[in-house]
Each structure stands twice: as structure tokens, then as C-alpha cells.
């Protein structure tokens, strides 16, 4: 089953064009939607989660018209929003049982079985009776994914799930996502390139409401081969170099700036050609978008 998004546009009251003619074909497996803050990721995720209407465009999930057959879509949808509230005094088990009821799992036995399986899958079985108000950020996100996985969804959407997690929790969460399965469509929206690099066989880069690039990480990286150059420079020289070259990123290496420049041939003395990585792909596209270049 594929998710096929065609020509989706959304302008908010006030005039922000959050989505501009977005078209994407998303196969089963883990798909990364990568973009900076304000790119339109959440707008797209909320639209796909049937919570918000676009002005124009169509979305199909297999045979379903996602924008028209909302009830049918919701039965096969799992959504972990960027922010969600939970009653702090309820236990993980009670919360999950409640959401299982909302998902339409009416048999108590079946619910108990689903809740237990998901608590185990998300490594929360030991704290099943603890109030969720005391959970760490990582535990809350794992409970969120357990809620999203209730009812065996065919489309799972997770919006910026690792923001605010420490490295151990982040890894645990990404491992959990990687185990969801390759038979369903999983969309991971994030501004963290590493999350996508580790998990996703396909990615799209979105900036200023537009899809800038899409494909496998390796194919996107390959397109930049031979065009990325790095150089250590002093802080004072940064502005001058920026004016002269297309600087796509600045990293601090032991406190000193190291720039990466996109150029078809050597930008000059002191530059060393490097193997491109997915961050270069991402920053190149974000730089082009903020310079107002066409996608």
C-alpha cells in the first residue's frame, strides 16, 4: 500500500503559505520527512492525520480517499503528535486501555491482550501501574507510540518524536520505531538529520512549504558527490567567506568554525573536497530555499 499525496496546498489565515503544491509518493516502510522549523511538516502531518483541511490537493492511502473517507482512515491511522497531554494521575495501563476503547476494541479481553503486548513492545511493562505524570520524556514518547500502534494501524505518523530526549532515550525510541514493521507506512517528521539517516529508506526534504528533494538517502547524497568542500576559518573571516561562497553549514570543531561550501569546482586555497553526507544534502536544500531559489 502506498500513500500518494498530490498537489497539496495550505495557506493559513494571515497569509502564511504552509504547504505549496506538495506531491509525494510514500511506500511502505520508514519514510523521513526532514525540514527546518516552520517548513510545514506539522501542517502536513496534521493534514495526513485527518485533523486539518488543505485548500487543494488529494491524498490517497491505498484505495482510500484520505480527505473524504476520514472515518475509514482513522480506523487504520496511528498518530503521535508533537505535543500531547495525558492525565498525570492515570497509570500507563489505564491510559492505553482508554485509548483502546476509543479505537473501537470493544472486547475487554482483546483490549487487555493488546495493552499488555504494547506495554511489552514499548518496554513499559514494569511501570504499567505507575502514574504517567512521573514518566520521563522518553517514557512518555514510548507510551505515545504504544497509543499510536493500537488497533494495528496501516499508516503511522510521528511528528518530531525525539525532540527533547537525551541520547539514550532517543536511541531506544528510534529502535522501537525501527521494529514497527516494514509492511505499513511510517512517516517520521523531524529536523534531526541523524534520526532519518539511521532509520529511513526514503526521505523528502521540505522547506518553506515545498518539497525540495526526495529519494533514498544514498541517491540524494550521490548527487552532491564532488561538490562539497570544507575549510577551517577564523571567526572574523566568516562574514567575508559567506559573501563569496555558498556556505551551507558551519560546524565548530574544537571551538573553531569549519565551513562546508557547495561548489562545482574548488572554491580556492585551503578548501578540501569531502564526501557528502545527508546533512550536506539537507543544508544545501535549506540554504537554497532561504535564498528563494526554486525547488
Site of interaction with ligand ADP (CB under 6 A):
12, 14, 16, 18, 35, 37-43
CB of 287 vs ligand ADP, minimal distance in Å: 17
Q: Residue 189 or residue 202: which is nearer to ligand ADP going by CB? A: 189
Q: Are 9 and 58 in contact (CB under 8 A)?
A: no
CB of 15 vs ligand ADP, minimal distance in Å: 9
Sheet of 17-26, strands arranged across = 17-26, 3-11, 56-61, 64-65
The set of cell numbers assigned to 276 is 557528502
Q: Residue 41 or residue 142: which is nearer to ligand ADP going by CB? A: 41
CB of 18 vs ligand ADP, minimal distance in Å: 4
Q: Residue 139 or residue 192: which is nearer to ligand ADP going by CB? A: 192
Nearest CA to 261 out of 206, 235, 224 is that of: 224
Q: Residue 40 or residue 276: which is nearer to ligand ADP going by CB? A: 40
CB of 213 vs ligand ADP, minimal distance in Å: 16
- Helices assigned H by DSSP within the chain: 41-48, 70-75, 92-102, 108-121, 137-148, 167-178, 193-199, 217-222, 238-244, 278-290
Q: Are 295 and 212 in contact (CB under 8 A)?
A: yes
Q: Residue 122 or residue 190: which is nearer to ligand ADP going by CB? A: 190
Q: Are 233 and 189 in contact (CB under 8 A)?
A: no
CB of 12 vs ligand ADP, minimal distance in Å: 3
Amino acid at each position: 500500500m502506498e500513500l500518494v499525496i498530490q498537489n497539496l496546498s495550505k495557506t493559513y489565515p494571515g497569509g502564511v503559505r504552509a504547504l505549496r503544491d506538495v506531491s509525494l509518493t510514500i511506500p511502505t516502510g520508514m519514510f523521513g520527512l526532514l525540514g527546518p522549523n516552520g517548513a510545514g511538516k506539522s501542517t502536513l502531518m496534521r493534514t495526513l492525520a485527518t485533523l486539518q483541511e488543505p485548500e487543494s490537493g488529494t491524498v490517497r492511502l491505498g484505495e482510500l480517499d484520505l480527505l473524504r473517507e476520514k472515518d475509514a482512515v482513522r480506523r487504520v491511522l496511528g498518530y503521535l503528535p508533537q505535543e500531547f497531554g495525558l492525565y498525570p494521575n492515570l497509570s500507563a495501563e489505564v491510559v492505553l486501555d482508554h485509548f483502546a476503547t476509543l479505537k473501537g476494541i470493544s472486547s475487554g479481553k482483546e483490549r487487555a491482550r493488546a495493552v499488555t503486548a504494547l506495554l511489552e513492545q514499548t518496554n513499559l511493562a514494569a511501570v504499567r501501574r505507575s502514574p504517567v505524570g512521573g514518566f520521563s520524556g522518553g517514557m512518555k514518547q514510548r507510551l505515545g507510540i504504544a497509543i499510536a500502534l493500537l488497533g494495528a494501524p496501516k499508516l503511522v505518523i510521528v511528528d518530531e518524536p525525539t525532540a527533547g530526549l537525551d541520547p539514550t532515550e532517543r536511541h531506544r525510541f528510534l529502535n522501537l520505531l525501527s521494529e514497527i514493521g516494514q509492511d505499513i507506512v511510517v512517516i517520521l517528521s523531524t529536523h534531526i538529520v541523524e534520526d532519518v539517516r539511521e532509520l529511513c529508506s526514503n526521505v523528502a526534504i521540505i522547506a518553506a512549504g515545498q518539497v525540495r528533494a526526495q529519494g533514498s538517502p544514498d541517491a540524494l547524497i550521490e548527487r552532491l558527490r564532488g561538490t562539497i568542500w570544507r575549510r577551517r576559518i577564523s571567526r572574523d573571516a566568516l562574514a567575508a567567506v559567506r559573501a563569496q561562497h555558498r556556505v551551507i553549514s558551519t560546524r565548530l570543531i574544537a571551538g573553531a568554525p569549519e565551513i562546508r561550501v557547495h561548489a562545482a569546482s574548488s572554491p580556492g586555497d585551503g578548501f578540501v573536497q569531502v564526501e557528502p553526507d545527508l546533512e550536506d544534502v539537507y543544508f544545501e536544500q535549506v540554504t537554497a530555499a532561504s535564498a528563494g531559489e526554486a525547488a
